[in-house]
């Protein structure tokens, strides 16, 4: 017997008056995988997430999350998921640790302080745990937001445009967090409009365009859809992200080594 997928969507449709947002969406998400719903603004990504999270009712079609029908068993679905929206939902007046304790208490968890401390360690926020969230960088706030969403250990997490508004360093911090979640067995449904984000994180990618899925598959499969280009000479140039991190210092490094390189005009960059 094959294992029931973590998420199954069949023929999902949704309209707002005369605006047809979803026109029959179909996809499945395997348990313990990262699935990227890739599309431009207005493609319908957030509408799909809201339906799966029981925040919105579809006009037609069916969807199950963790084996529960979103229309008839909404309570069980909500107990199985966590949703992180486009903007971090942290209380800036509270410290990072206080934010985590508050959510743990609201979910009636035992030993909320211990849960908070464990998550601070897990998301590399221990040193900032007693600082107010208002002092956090964008990447730190997003990590705290994701940590809050994991209280209660939901098997499925929805990340709706998780790196919106973040600088390059913040985006990389969130990417590392998502990779850790997947490594620990959490099923992640990620919506994004960034091609590199889907390429970096997803086991499978579904391209949503004008309310329908036009293609689904692994990155390798999607690349095979286009013919291989013939290249006679390729000069690899550093990406803007490489340049940025080299100039400001890669915060992922633990050491304090000076970054040095040579610019295209021969000037030393330090």
DSSP string, 197-248: HHHHH-SEEEEEETTEEEEEE-HHHHHTTSPPPP-S-------HHHHHHHHH
- The stretch 100-121 carries a mean pLDDT of 93
All domains of the chain, ordered by start, with CATH?
7-90+136-269 (3.40.50.300)
Contact 166, 139 (CB under 8 A): yes
Whole-structure pTM value = 0.79
User: Hey, CA dihedral for 144, 7, 39, 85, is it positive or negative?
Assistant: negative
- Cα–Cα distance measured from residue 195 to residue 198, given in angstroms and rounded to the nearest whole number: 5
Residues in the chain: 270
In the prediction, which pLDDT does 229 show?
66
- Give the mean model confidence (pLDDT) for residues 47-60: 96
Express each pLDDT in 193-229 by its tens digit: 888 999 999 999 999 999 999 999 998 888 888 777 6
Q: What is the mean pLDDT of the chain?
A: 86
Evaluate if residue 257 carries a pLDDT over 80: no
CB 128 within 8 A of CB 179: no
Residue 227 corresponds to which tokens in the numbers above?
Answer: 């013919």
Average pLDDT over residues 133-156: 90
Query: Does the pLDDT of residue 128 top 70, yes or no?
Result: yes
What is the 3-state composition of the chain as percent helix, strand, coil, each rounded to the nearest 5? 35, 25, 40
Predicted confidence at residue 174, as pLDDT, reads: 85
CA distance 238 to 235: 10
Residue 130 has pLDDT above 50, yes or no: yes
Cα angle 160, 79, 32 (rounded to 5 degrees) comes to: 60
Beta bridge partners of 192: 38
Structure-block tokens of residue 226: 């286009």
% of the chain with per-residue pLDDT over 70: 86
Q: Are the CB atoms for 13 and 59 separated by under 8 Å?
A: yes
- At 88, the pLDDT band (50, 70, 90 cuts) reads low
Give the whole-angstrom CA distance, residue 27 versus residue 49: 13
Task: Place 247 in a pLDDT band, splitting at 50, 70 and 90.
Answer: low
3-class secondary structure, 63: strand
């Amino acid at each position: 017997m094959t294992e029931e997928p973590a998420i199954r969507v069949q023929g999902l449709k949704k309209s707002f008056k005369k605006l047809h947002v979803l026109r029959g969406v179909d996809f499945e998400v395997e348990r313990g995988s990262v699935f990227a719903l890739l599309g431009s603004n207005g493609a319908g990504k957030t509408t799909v997430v809201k339906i799966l999270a029981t925040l919105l009712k579809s006009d037609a079609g069916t969807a199950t999350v963790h084996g529960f029908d979103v229309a008839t068993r909404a309570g069980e679905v909500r107990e199985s998921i966590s949703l992180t929206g486009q903007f971090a939902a942290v209380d800036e007046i509270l410290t990072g640790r206080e934010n985590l304790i508050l959510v743990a208490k609201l979910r009636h968890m035992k030993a909320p302080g211990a849960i908070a401390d464990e998550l601070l360690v897990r998301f590399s926020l221990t040193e900032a745990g007693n600082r107010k969230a208002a002092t956090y960088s964008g990447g730190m706030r997003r990590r705290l937001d994701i940590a809050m969403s994991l209280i209660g250990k939901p098997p499925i997490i929805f990340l709706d445009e998780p790196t919106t508004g973040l600088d390059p360093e913040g985006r990389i911090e969130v990417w590392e967090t998502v990779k850790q979640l997947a490594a620990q067995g959490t099923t992640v449904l990620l919506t994004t409009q960034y091609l590199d984000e889907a390429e970096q994180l997803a086991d499978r990618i579904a391209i949503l365009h004008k309310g329908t899925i036009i293609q689904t598959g692994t990155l390798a499969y999607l690349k095979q859809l286009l013919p291989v280009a013939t290249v006679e000479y390729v000069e690899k140039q550093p990406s803007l992200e490489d340049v940025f991190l080299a100039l400001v210092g890669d915060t992922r490094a633990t050491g304090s080594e000076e970054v040095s390189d040579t610019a295209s005009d021969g000037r030393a960059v330090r």
